[in-house]
Amino acid sequence: MARKSAKSNDSEAQVKNSLKTQSQGLPPSPPTLQDINDTLESNFMPYAMSIIVSRAIPEIDGFKPSHRKLLYTMYKMGLLTGNRTKSSNVVGQTMKLNPHGDMAIYETMVRLARGNGALLHPYVDSKGNFGKQYSRDMQYAAPRYTEVRLEKLCEELFRGLDKNAVDFVDNYDGTMREPVLLPATYPSILVNSNQGIAAGMASNICSFNIKEVCEATVAYMKDPSADLLPIMPAPDFPGGGIILYDEAAMRSIYETGRGPIRIRSKYFADKSNNLIEVTEIPYTTTAEAVIDEITELVKSGKVKEINDVRDETDLDGLKICIECKRGTDQDALMTKLFRFTSLESTFSCNFNVLINGYPRVMGVNALLAEWIVWRRACQKREVVYEMDKKKDKLHLLDGLAKILLDIDKAIAIIRNTELEADVVPNLMKGFDIDSLQAEYVAEIKLRNINRQYIINRTADRENLKKEIEDLEDIIAKPSRLDALIIKALENVAKKYGQPRRSELLRAEEAATFNVSNMIEDYRLKLFLSDHGYIKKIALTSLRNAGDLKIKEDDAIVMELEGTNKSEILFFSDKANCYKVKGYELPDTKPSEYGGYLPNLLSMEEGEKIIFMHVADDFKGNVLFAFANGKISKIPLLAYETKQNRKKLIHAYSDLSPIVCIHYLTEDVDMAAFSNLRKSIVFNTSLIPLKTTRSSQGVQVLTSKKDSVMTEVKRLEDTGFTDPEYYRVRRLPAIGYYLKEDTLEDRQLTLADL
């Protein structure tokens, strides 16, 4: 307080100095600098707290203040049982509690109305055009044209409101009283969806089926450790659709209050007319947005199977009609649209609720636990209210009982009293009763002073005593209090329960889009050039082709056969492995150079592809030979990834320069050569298999006089006439000098080696 007073004094002083300066014609003094922390604390923090606590985040009764004020106003207007009234009347009356503009209040009413379809269990029975939640362009009519009243379900929201179930506070100008919360007899916080964005936090609560919610709440009250998922397996959205059910993900949402829920549209395929009719879409999108997305896919050429898409929504409900080309696989097309449009989208749960004025993110179990605690307090207040009323009535009947013991005396006191004002005091003195009892006796009609009246009142007194004892027992025993709550929940489930709108489909059983299904497959041949060009030519085109065109100083270093859907591995000299599908490489004519791999693969500067392999089944092993004389044998399976990664770093050891790479389906004889013109012949079975891609392998050729390994070839490619001369049985080995008589072509081979 002292700090605020000091700030106030400083402000007043600044204003006085400014006025004095202006009156004297002096230039204004420079403004006083303010600490940003103080400015935020005094200006932004109150605003942030206001929108968190009083605007955007729902409370345990399931409502934001704007919802609660609107529904309470309609309740006080008698719209729970009466006829509909113009929406303008409700909006005007609500402004006594909600100091916002009329359109803001009306928009709140629209969302709560049955006609809009935003809520699974609407609270407002509407007549007229209230727009549609699933339509972006379908606007609601003005409030002077529409009519509303409360739905029957609202009886459960206000039950106990007149029995002191909740606290009341003054409205913004102190002219009315309004409830702090509504004493809902069921967990309305879970029954209807609720979204809100505050300062630094948000809330996004999905809707659940009211019957399932009530049954789950009863089960939780009977056993807090009960598994609620079989009873309430998933949310239930107003627009229906299909929930791709993942039990593990759903349990996580139930425990933490956060997580995604995938919703897929429901459609009907009319194969005779080549039509697809979408009748239900996810709660998070609109029909216009879906049509715009499909149109864009058709224009961009990503979807070629569609002739037309149109909105045929009418009074019967939503319908998006997709006209397909003849011969189109409609189910496969829908999996593609699910992948690239909001026909399948995600609802991100964020169960953020105000509990005793503090925002908390809770799972379903925790939310039900908080609701039960709150509902017990409401139910107890109702019981106490009824008990107090009965005690007051019993108190009056106790006074009447004393009078009835000597009714003649009472009549005499009344007849002998001169002033009317003295009747009550004289009865108090004559029968030792208080003023309330005496007033009650004095108001009895003369015709009621008979035997039957006395007997009935005496019986009422005995019944009241029993009822009061029963109510006291309810207050003393939590189990009996819970029984009342459970009974109310069962009544709500029976009276307002309805079948689920959203179907459940296990995620693993749902058909998903696969790019390869939409791609033509055919046999092809790949050619890798020394300069990094890749040619992909279909075998049918290669048969009639002439010479392959390459640059003058370039040469083809590898050629492999595969298919358009094969996965191709490219190993570079910087220990990277690039993975692409055959269809991702550009088709090439024999007369073209082909695609430039550094650009196609986004390779590093100066990086060069030295080996490629077509991996159809990821069987076999890869042999890596290094300049330091070591060789590693890695299973090809180590390069298979489920994440569809395009680049694998540390594909092999980079501790020594790579000499060559070979692919093996089985162990074979190989020959290794050094720069000292030494060689060995060995079988690859001597090299142990390593599962780690970056393994250095084992020493094969021992280094001598700083020698390095220069090449490793298959034995049949060496031209050795006497390979047994160079064969070794154990590794590593020093090697044997090359002898001319062991080479088929002495001049060329010695020169090359």
Q: Are 60 and 354 in contact (CB under 8 A)?
A: yes
Give the pair of three-digit tokens for residue 140: 């609601």
Angstrom distance (rounded) from CA 709 to CA 627: 5
Cα-based distances in Å from 641 to 563, 579, 584, 645, 750 = 20, 10, 17, 7, 43
Same domain flag for 144 and 174: yes
- What tens digit of pLDDT does each residue of 3-59 get? 444 444 454 555 455 545 555 555 565 666 778 887 777 788 887 887 887 788 999
Same domain flag for 656 and 539: yes
* CATH number of the structural domain spanning residue 90: 3.90.199.10
| Amino acid at the residue 753 | L
- What tens digit of pLDDT does each residue of 360-392 get? 999 999 999 999 999 999 999 999 999 999 999
Same domain flag for 522 and 487: no
Is residue 558 one of the residues assigned to a domain?
Answer: yes
Dihedral, 637, 642, 648, 650 alpha carbons, nearest 10: -60
| Parallel/antiparallel/unpaired status of strands 621-626 and 658-664 | antiparallel
Q: Are 478 and 222 in contact (CB under 8 A)?
A: no
User: Which candidate, 506, 34, 465, 423, places its Cα nearest to that of 234?
Assistant: 506
- What tens digit of pLDDT does each residue of 663-713 get? 999 999 999 999 989 999 999 999 999 989 999 899 999 988 888 999 999
Give the pair of three-digit tokens for residue 119: 């809520």
Same domain flag for 551 and 664: yes
Angstrom distance (rounded) from CA 191 to CA 120: 7
Tell me which H or E stretch contains 262: strand 258-264
* CATH number of the structural domain spanning residue 274: 3.30.1360.40
Q: Which residues pair with residue 632 across a beta bridge?
A: 624
Is residue 409 one of the residues assigned to a domain?
Answer: yes
Is residue 265 left, alpha or beta, with left meaning phi > 0 and alpha meaning psi from -120 to 50?
A: beta
Residue 465: pLDDT over 70: yes
Same domain flag for 486 and 524: no
Which tops the pLDDT comparison, 192 or 55? 192
pTM of the model: 0.71
* CATH number of the structural domain spanning residue 411: 1.10.268.10
- What tens digit of pLDDT does each residue of 494-536 get? 999 999 999 999 998 888 877 666 677 788 999 999 999 999 9
Is residue 673 one of the residues assigned to a domain?
Answer: yes
| Domain range for 9 | 2-33
Is residue 432 one of the residues assigned to a domain?
Answer: yes
Measured in degrees and rounded to the nearest 5, phi and psi for residue 623 equal -105, 125
Is residue 407 one of the residues assigned to a domain?
Answer: yes
Place 584 in a pLDDT band, splitting at 50, 70 and 90. confident
Where among 342, 358, 384 does a domain terminate? 342
Place 750 in a pLDDT band, splitting at 50, 70 and 90. very low
Q: Of 269-278, 541-550, 623-632, which gets the smallest average pLDDT? A: 541-550
Same domain flag for 531 and 634: yes
Same domain flag for 581 and 685: yes
- What tens digit of pLDDT does each residue of 268-283 get? 999 888 999 999 999 9
| Amino acid at the residue 693 | R
Cα-based distances in Å from 512 to 336, 338, 464 = 8, 8, 68
In 529-586, alpha helices (H) = 539-543
Same domain flag for 570 and 685: yes
Is residue 436 one of the residues assigned to a domain?
Answer: yes
Residue 649: pLDDT over 60: yes
Where among 183, 211, 237 does a domain terminate? 183
Measured in degrees and rounded to the nearest 5, phi and psi for residue 303 equal -125, 120
Is residue 396 one of the residues assigned to a domain?
Answer: yes
- Indicate the angle between helix axes 364-405 and 423-431, nearest 10 degrees: 90
| Parallel/antiparallel/unpaired status of strands 609-615 and 567-572 | antiparallel
Predicted local distance difference test score (pLDDT) of residue 6 = 43
Is residue 687 one of the residues assigned to a domain?
Answer: yes
Same domain flag for 321 and 384: no
* CATH number of the structural domain spanning residue 726: 2.120.10.90
Where among 462, 496, 530 does a domain terminate? 496
Residues 6+ apart with CB under 8 A from 390: 464, 467, 468, 471
Same domain flag for 695 and 642: yes
Residue 132 exposed, middle or buried by CB count within 10 Å (0-12, 13-18, 19+): buried
Count of domains forming the chain: 5
Angstrom distance (rounded) from CA 456 to CA 459: 5
The predicted model gives 648-652 an average pLDDT of 93
Predicted local distance difference test score (pLDDT) of residue 16 = 53
What are 154-157's contacts with CB under 8 Å, separation 24+? 154/71, 154/74, 154/75, 154/80, 154/123, 155/80, 156/184, 156/185, 156/186, 156/488, 156/492, 156/496, 157/61, 157/71, 157/123, 157/182, 157/183, 157/184, 157/185, 157/188
Predicted local distance difference test score (pLDDT) of residue 592 = 86
SS3 string of 105-133? HHHHHHHHECCCCCCCCCCEEEECCCCCC
Angstrom distance (rounded) from CA 385 to CA 729: 98
Same domain flag for 551 and 585: yes
Cα-based distances in Å from 465 to 49, 398, 399, 471, 695 = 49, 11, 15, 10, 89
Residue indicated by tokens 């890869």: 622
The predicted model gives 329-354 an average pLDDT of 93
What b/e readout covers 210-225, taking b as 16+ CB neighbours within 10 angstroms?
bbbbbbbbbbbbeeee
User: Residues with catalytic annotation?
Assistant: 145
Q: Are 120 and 193 in contact (CB under 8 A)?
A: yes
| Amino acid at the residue 18 | S
Same domain flag for 558 and 683: yes
